[in-house]
Amino acid sequence: MTAVRTGNTQAKRDRRNGRNAGRGRAEAVTMVVAGVVAFPLFWMVLTAIKPEDEVLSADPKPWTLRPTFDSFVRALTVQNFGRYFLNSVIVALAVVLLSMLVAFLAAAALTRFRFRGRTTMLIMLLVVQMVPVEALTVPLFFLMRSVGQSVPAFGLNHLGSLVLVHLAFSLPFAIWMLRGFVAAVPKELEEAATLDGASRFRFLWRVLFPLVAPGLVATSVLSFIHAWNDFLFAKTFIISAAENQTLPLALQVFVRPDQNDWGAIMAGATLMTIPVLVFFVFVQRRLVSGLAGSVKG
């Protein structure tokens, strides 16, 4: 009896040890993969703080003993990088604020009201996300050109044109995702607010808006990234106004046919990545649950 029990415990312990060994292996693999995935980012920052002779060395070392901010200084001063940075911030913030406002109203309408054509609109929102925005560069180029003839601020060579297109492209997904957050607010709350004499408008801003705020933050990240990362439209719309270029294009300035200034390019890439990383880490948890929610419906 005792022997059986010990044997049993022994088997259990063996199994546990086996599982621990397996888990140890899995964790080792995980760490190697994490290292490989993070490596390009490490290399980007490292190159940015290396002195120029080490960057141009044919025998690159994975460390530096003489860290310097020279490359950052070159990136920020020589090519007017600060100005491009500011332009990118302006475009991204304008897109985030406008798209959140418009998407919140639309999501409230699509979730809180029953009306004819509602399902059709929801399907359209999904379909519209599949339209390759890059294919629309040609008509949008002409559209912005004619808009610019009456309202220059929203025409070619102006930041307004970029705000408009990114607003349009980030809206469908923003509405789609916010819908889930609005739907999670119990219907009884609206009834209670109405009974207390709150108007629809008041309910919308005083009750619904604060409750959906976490969802707004998660959604805003995707709108932000969309506008921040854009290369194509900045390249197409901002043709001759160098002072209105955005970061992705500024990075290309350092790429020269003869000799790339890799230090400055990596410093620029680092500066460009930091805001997105900060934004991401900030909303990481909400983003994951938001994505999971939007996938599961």
Partner 1 sequence: MSTATRRARARSGEGRTALAYLAPALLVLGALLAYPVYQLVVISFYDYGQEQVSGGAPLEFLGLGNYTTLFSGSRFWAVLAQTVGFAAVCVAGTLLAGAALAVLATRVRPWARTCLFLAALGAWATPAVAGSTVWLFLFDANLGLVNNVLGLDGFSWTYGKWTAFGLVAAEVVWCSFPFAMITLYAGIKAIPGEVLEAAALDGASTRRIATSVLLPLLRPVLAVVTIQSVIWDFKVFTQIYVMTNGGGIAGRNLTLNVYAYQQAFAASEYGLGAAIGVVTTLVLLAITVVYLRALRRSGEEL
Site for partner 1 in 205-244 (CB under 8 A): 225, 228-229, 231-232, 236
Sole binder of partner 1 in the list 75, 140, 156, 238 (CB under 8 A): 140
Task: Examine residue 64 and tell whether it contacts partner 1 (CB under 8 A).
Answer: no
User: Around 256, how many Cα atoms within 13 Å sit in the side-chain half-sphere?
Assistant: 8
The full 3-state SS of 50-89, as one line of letters, equals CCHHHHCCCCCCCCCCCCCCHHHHHHHHCCCHHHHHHHHH
Q: Judged by CB under 8 A, does residue 248 bind partner 1? A: yes
Counting contacts by CB under 8 A, is residue 184 touching partner 1?
A: no
Q: Does the footprint of partner 1 cover residue 203 (CB under 8 A)?
A: no
Phi, psi at 50, each rounded to 5°: -75, 150
DSSP 1: -
Residue 165 binds to partner 1 (criterion: CB under 8 A): yes
Burial of 44 (0-12, 13-18, 19+ CB in 10 A): middle
Comparing CB distances to partner 1, the nearer of 93 and 136 is 136
Instruction: Give the nearer residue to partner 1 in terms of CB position, either 166 or 244.
Output: 166
Alpha-carbon distance 186 to 205, whole Å? 16
Q: How far is the CB of 60 from partner 1 (least distance, A)?
A: 5
Cβ atoms < 10 Å from Cβ of 23: 10
Using the rule CB under 8 A, which residue among 34, 151, 192, 241 binds partner 1? 34
Closer Cβ to partner 1, 5 or 115, answer by number: 115
Among 74, 181, 266, 286, binds partner 1 (CB under 8 A): 266
The answer to whether 35 contacts partner 1 (rule: CB under 8 A) is: yes
User: Least distance in Å: CB of 121 to partner 1?
Assistant: 8
Name 153's Cβ contacts closer than 8 Å, sequence gap at least 6.
Answer: 160
Residue 154 engages partner 1 in binding (rule: CB under 8 A): no
Amino acid letter for position 119? T
Question: Taking CB under 8 A as the rule, does residue 150 contact partner 1?
Answer: no
